Structure 1
Amino acid sequence: MAAAIDGYLAELDRALRGPRRVKTGLLREARDSLVDATEAYVDLGLTPEVAARRAVDDFGEVSRIAPGYQAELALAQGRRTALLAFASLIVQPPIWHLVSWQAAEPDPLPGLAGVLDMLVSRLGTLAVVVALLAVWASGTGVRRLGANPRVIRLTGIFAFTAAATFSPIGLMLALFSPATGPMALARLPIALVVLILPMLLVALNGARCLTTARAATTAR
């Protein structure tokens, strides 16, 4: 009984791209359905081997089943990326306000630092709004937009754009800060920990968005 089901699930696993935990859950649900169907056929008098093959046949070919699963995986990846981008961006203002206060920086910042600070503030607000829209589009917004791989692809592009925009601006702010003393030396390590590393993670998930969106488009 297990051989036919395991072979089918292995083929389905190879056909899918997306968050590992979500994919594992989908494969587990598929296995449970196949096992239940097999047991039902066994109760009707079929041998376990024949019952398993019949259950697999009834479940459908992988090429027909995979697109639905892949769309769900793409949505899960898109939502994860959007939430990560939102969380990474929304914590930046309070952290840097605290750092500026500890460093006794002037408000507004002078020179290039002031221009960069104003730029990151305005772009950050816009990016937070876009991240929230992406969360909605890959969640409750599916009822209106459907499971559209294009939305997930746009979420991936947004993630890359956010990482490529805020990482260098954050580094420049850390380098051109008018702060002096210990906090001036601490700004760069703080930027690496609370901005650069999270943005790298956002970019990595953006790449996964593009991969899952491409797989969902191909599986259609």
Structure 2
Amino acid sequence: MSYLGELEAALTGPRRLKRDLLQEAADHLEDATEALIEAGHSPASARRRAEADFGPIAEVADAYAETLAVASSRRTAGLLLFVLSFQPFLWDSGVNLGRMFDKAVPDTWWYAMLDVGIEVGGGISLSGAALALVVTGVGNRWFPVGRREARLTALFTVLASLFVPLTAWSMMAGSHTPPVLWALSLVLMVLPLAAVAASALHTLAVAGTPAPASSPAS
């Protein structure tokens, strides 16, 4: 397998950024190879030396993985913010699906606790998603952002993606919710947050991928 082929196989993350990084590596290797050929090296020797100078696959992939992990975490935070931002409009205001049916709200301590919990937890989830988006975006201008921040963003997203629907369904289970509202909550809340959680798990995989074993350039 070629040097660039090995590098591509070693990288995971957002496809567009991965493609851009591979193109950057290819352009660098092409320029270095041409310079070495002009200096008197044969094409094969020039290519081998250019690849050796660029660095072992493991080291280059590890450096690129940092960039890919941060980009993946930024996308994940953006998805969480997007999905959570329209939930209040759907269930509390605007469309107000939660009050489309004439069902009495249980007057129990546990329902009140869940109601407060989803309000507070939802607010924390929204704020955390916005903060993560800022940190993994413009935050790079002021301080280094790497795999640790990417993992924290992903873990926070997984927790938020579980907390919101589980709390909402616990409230619905105790309030004689009609089947149609269960179906709406599945389509409008659970499935979108499941997609967000899947993105977060992918980010964890990208941020936690160890550098592959180095192999000689060929």
TM-score (normalised: structure 2):
0.82
Paired residues of 1:116 and 1:169 also in contact (CA < 8 A): yes
2:199 equivalent in structure 1: 205
The superposition leaves residues 118-161 of structure 1 with CA deviations (integer Å, 9 ceiling, x where unpaired) of 32122101111111111112111123341332211111211121
1:57 maps to which of 52, 63, 79: 52
Tell me how far apart the structure 2 counterparts of residues 36 and 132 of structure 1 sit (CA, whole Å): 41
Paired residues of 1:170 and 1:195 also in contact (CA < 8 A): no
1:133 maps to which of 89, 109, 131: 131
2:88 equivalent in structure 1: 93
1:77 equivalent in structure 2: 72
The superposition leaves residues 32-66 of structure 1 with CA deviations (integer Å, 9 ceiling, x where unpaired) of 22123223333444432222222212212223322
Letter in 2 for 1:200: A
> Greater shift after overlay, 47-56 or 187-196?
47-56
Q: Which residues of 2 match residues 71-220 of structure 1 at below 5 A?
A: 71-97=66-92, 98=95, 99-103=97-101, 109-111=105-107, 113-177=111-175, 184-215=178-209
TM-score (normalised: structure 1):
0.81
Paired residues of 1:18 and 1:73 also in contact (CA < 8 A): yes
1:35 maps to which of 16, 30, 34: 30
Distance change in 2, residues 1:212/1:61 (3 Å): same
Tell me how far apart the structure 1 counterparts of residues 205 and 175 of structure 2 sit (CA, whole Å): 38
Structure 1 stretches of 4+ with a deviation exceeding 4 A read 112-115, 216-219
Unaligned residue ranges in structure 1 (runs of 5+): 1-5
1:3 equivalent in structure 2: none
Paired residues of 1:79 and 1:134 also in contact (CA < 8 A): yes
The superposition leaves residues 69-101 of structure 1 with CA deviations (integer Å, 9 ceiling, x where unpaired) of 111011011111111111111110001132135
Paired residues of 1:149 and 1:216 also in contact (CA < 8 A): no
Backbone CA RMSD of aligned residues: 2.6
Unaligned residue ranges in structure 2 (runs of 5+): 214-218
Q: How far apart are 1:29 and its partner, in Å?
A: 1.6
Q: Secondary structure at the match of 1:40?
A: helix
Tell me how far apart the structure 2 counterparts of residues 143 and 101 of structure 1 sit (CA, whole Å): 45
Paired residues of 1:174 and 1:191 also in contact (CA < 8 A): no
Percent of paired sites with the same residue: 34
Letter in 2 for 1:153: R
Q: Which has the higher contact order (CA 8 A, sep 6+)?
A: 2
